[in-house]
Chain A
Amino acid sequence: MKTEFIIEAALAIQQTILANESTLESLDREIGDGDHYINMKRGATTVAAMQADLVSLKPDEALNKIGMKLLSTIGGASGPLLASFFMSMAKVLKENGDESNLKIAAAFAGGVQAIIQRGKAGLGEKTMLDVLIPVSNQFVLLATQNCDVKLICATLINIAEQGMLSTKDLIATKGRAAGLGERAIGHIDPGAKSCQLMIETVCKLCLK
């Protein structure tokens, strides 16, 4: 992994978030409180503007800096969760190195594990983890099997999409939609949607 790639991904993610304003806003209005898009936009814009601060850093240092910045920028539940992801991913990369897909997959899994712990949530609770856990598991599996990066990215795009769609039929037991009970059924979780969009964006960048 290279720091240039992280910067390129940050800029691409900002474009994706901005392009999906109405999708994210309407999902959050249905089962949340209407601030998810605003918060994601604030986070994505801040990270995209960090280019100059990041360019001379090692990849793990860059990810850690992004995490710290998100922690003081986004707020809400997304802030600590996404910050924990990047800071933990950075920690694993620093310890294990970043020179293979398997090591990057392990770092991604470490980031997802941090979200699980911070959010005290798991699979099937109608959250971003319904996207992140399957993606993380599949990423590690494919990397272990020495699959090439094109196959890994193409597969993860599909897994993320399935995970996002799976939240539609779930009752929320974590997050702001948890007060809705059965009324949340039929609505895609906005956090799962934004995670799916970000994963798709990064994977497409690798496929280019």
Chain B
Amino acid sequence: MKKFINKVDNILVESLTGFAKAHHDLVELHLDPNFLTRAEKAQNKVAIISGGGSGHEPLHAGYIGYGMLDAACPGHVFTSPTPDQMLMAAEAVHADKGILFIVKNYAGDVMNFEMAAEMLPFEHATVLTSDDCAVVNSTYTTGRRGVAGTVIVEKCVGSLAETGADLQTCKALGDKVNNRTASIGVALTSCTVPAAGRATFDISDTEIEMGVGIHGEPGRRRETMRPADEIIGDCVEAILMDFKTRNLQPSKKHEALLLVNGFGATPLMELYLIYNTAAKLFNLHNLEISRSLVGNYTTALDMAGASITLCLLDDEIKQHWDSPVHTAALRWGK
């Protein structure tokens, strides 16, 4: 393992402190328990709080600010944060219109946010994101995992909350965006959890992990490395199949948002190559890509690889995607 580390137990706090320094105009860091809030508390709106294990930066702290989150609770690397973090964050950002938790669907995150919600003295609701279509027989499992599509949910719900919309309306939009979004990821290499000190899984130069999660957990299957277009073709196929299963496949031209997300160690050059092919392929299936996002938005530490996320747009989602946002990782229109 070769990483920028002073003391392995201090990585998280040192990184959070640096983040807060770099973006002091946007965020404020609170330690023990750890959470981040907007530098300036928003008034008279539903407070949006997300959180999850660290190692997925800029998720979630990078999305704190106008038009997105009010607070984020970072856990240890790949480990869900704890209820005391969520309770303190809620206490800090509550603005009389209730608390909306945005939670990626993993057993640990769900249980910790659930216990926090049970103890919360405010009106609250939760949006569970579950966009990863790699996990097939979801009926028998914890369900689909929440991955990069979470960014789209946080952006749209965050925008709606700024208009003063009530808690249930915000939750409804979050659920809608989640239900119209599908993602799938491919890993070329493993990631290394700093405290573990070695790669989470072994993978040779000629192999890829199709359907990988954002924690380096194994995916659908191990496959042989092939030219990019073949791999991207399979990813697009998986998303289209998922849309078909959920009766979302458009019969005539329909607008969509395409997010090509890097896992941390794949250069933008390759991400744009993926975008090029994926957009072309979706177009052949009546999906006109009218909105796009390419970059490292939901990472898995130092894993090489990428995920493709497609969100089926409608006027409401489009309006809230386009609206101004001012955060460390997403910024436009203001």
Given the complex of chains A and B, what is the CA–CA distance between A72 and B79 in angstroms?
12
Q: Which of A25, A31, A72, A81 contacts B84 (CB 8 A)?
A: A72
Docked-complex contact B196 and A38, CB < 8 angstroms: yes
Task: Encode A21-36 as 1/0 by CB contact (under 8 A) with B.
Answer: 0000100010111110
Docked-complex contact A179 and B76, CB < 8 angstroms: no
Known contacts A34-B200, A176-B107, A75 near B112 by CB under 8 Å:
yes
Docked-complex contact B82 and A73, CB < 8 angstroms: yes
Docked-complex contact B82 and A33, CB < 8 angstroms: no
Known contacts A76-B80, A77-B107, A79-B108, A179 near B134 by CB under 8 Å:
yes
Q: How far is the CB of A127 from chain B (nearest CB, A)?
A: 9
Chain A interface size, under 10 / 10 to 19 / 20 to 34 / 35 or more: 35 or more
Docked-complex contact B134 and A76, CB < 8 angstroms: no
Given the complex of chains A and B, what is the CA–CA distance between A33 and B33 in angstroms?
24
B145: A residues at CB distance < 8 A: 179
Q: Is B15 an interface residue (CB 8 A)?
A: no
Q: Is B141 an interface residue (CB 8 A)?
A: yes
Docked-complex contact B141 and A179, CB < 8 angstroms: yes
Known contacts A176-B107, A179-B135, A72 near B83 by CB under 8 Å:
yes
Docked-complex contact B216 and A33, CB < 8 angstroms: yes
In chain A, positions 37-89 with a C-beta closer than 8 Å to chain B are 37-39, 42, 71-81, 83
A173: B residues at CB distance < 8 A: 140-142
**Closest A residue to B106 using CB positions:** A176
How many residues of chain B are within 8 Å of chain A by beta carbon? 40
**Closest B residue to A70 using CB positions:** B82
Given the complex of chains A and B, what is the CA–CA distance between A31 and B216 in angstroms?
10
Q: Is B174 an interface residue (CB 8 A)?
A: no
Given the complex of chains A and B, what is the CA–CA distance between A174 and B79 in angstroms?
16
Docked-complex contact A178 and B141, CB < 8 angstroms: yes
Given the complex of chains A and B, what is the CA–CA distance between A73 and B112 in angstroms?
11
Docked-complex contact A75 and B141, CB < 8 angstroms: no
Q: Is A180 an interface residue (CB 8 A)?
A: yes
Given the complex of chains A and B, what is the CA–CA distance between A71 and B114 in angstroms?
12
A183: B residues at CB distance < 8 A: 218, 221
Docked-complex contact B217 and A33, CB < 8 angstroms: yes
Docked-complex contact B80 and A71, CB < 8 angstroms: no
In chain A, positions 125-161 with a C-beta closer than 8 Å to chain B are none
Task: Encode B212-229 as 1/0 by CB contact (under 8 A) with A.
Answer: 010111110100000000
Docked-complex contact A80 and B111, CB < 8 angstroms: yes
Docked-complex contact A77 and B80, CB < 8 angstroms: yes
Docked-complex contact B200 and A29, CB < 8 angstroms: yes
Given the complex of chains A and B, what is the CA–CA distance between A80 and B110 in angstroms?
10
Known contacts A35-B193, A178-B142, A179-B134, A79 near B107 by CB under 8 Å:
no
**Closest B residue to A172 using CB positions:** B141
Q: Which of A71, A172, A179 contacts B213 (CB 8 A)?
A: A179
Given the complex of chains A and B, what is the CA–CA distance between A138 and B153 in angstroms?
47
Q: Is B136 an interface residue (CB 8 A)?
A: yes
Known contacts A33-B217, A39-B79, A77 near B111 by CB under 8 Å:
yes
Q: Is B77 an interface residue (CB 8 A)?
A: yes
Docked-complex contact B136 and A79, CB < 8 angstroms: no
Given the complex of chains A and B, what is the CA–CA distance between A72 and B201 in angstroms?
29
Docked-complex contact B216 and A34, CB < 8 angstroms: yes
Q: Is A186 an interface residue (CB 8 A)?
A: no
Given the complex of chains A and B, what is the CA–CA distance between A132 and B307 in angstroms?
37
Q: Is B122 an interface residue (CB 8 A)?
A: no
Q: How far is the CB of B13 from chain A (nearest CB, A)?
A: 14
Known contacts A38-B76, A79-B112, A80-B115, A71 near B196 by CB under 8 Å:
no
A77: B residues at CB distance < 8 A: 80, 106-108, 111
Given the complex of chains A and B, what is the CA–CA distance between A175 and B76 in angstroms?
18
**Closest A residue to B217 using CB positions:** A33
Q: How far is the CB of A105 from chain B (nearest CB, A)?
A: 26
Docked-complex contact B217 and A176, CB < 8 angstroms: yes
Docked-complex contact B142 and A174, CB < 8 angstroms: yes
Besides A31-B218, A79-B111, 10 new A-B residue pairs in contact (Cβ under 8 A), listed by A number: A33-B216, A33-B217, A75-B82, A76-B108, A77-B80, A79-B112, A173-B142, A178-B142, A179-B145, A181-B136
6 contacts between A and B (CB under 8 A): A74-B79, A76-B80, A79-B108, A173-B141, A179-B213, A179-B217
Closest 7 CB pairs between A and B?
A178-B141, A77-B108, A33-B215, A80-B111, A76-B108, A77-B107, A76-B79
A residues engaging B (CB < 8 A)? 25, 29, 31-35, 37-39, 42, 71-81, 83, 118-119, 172-181, 183
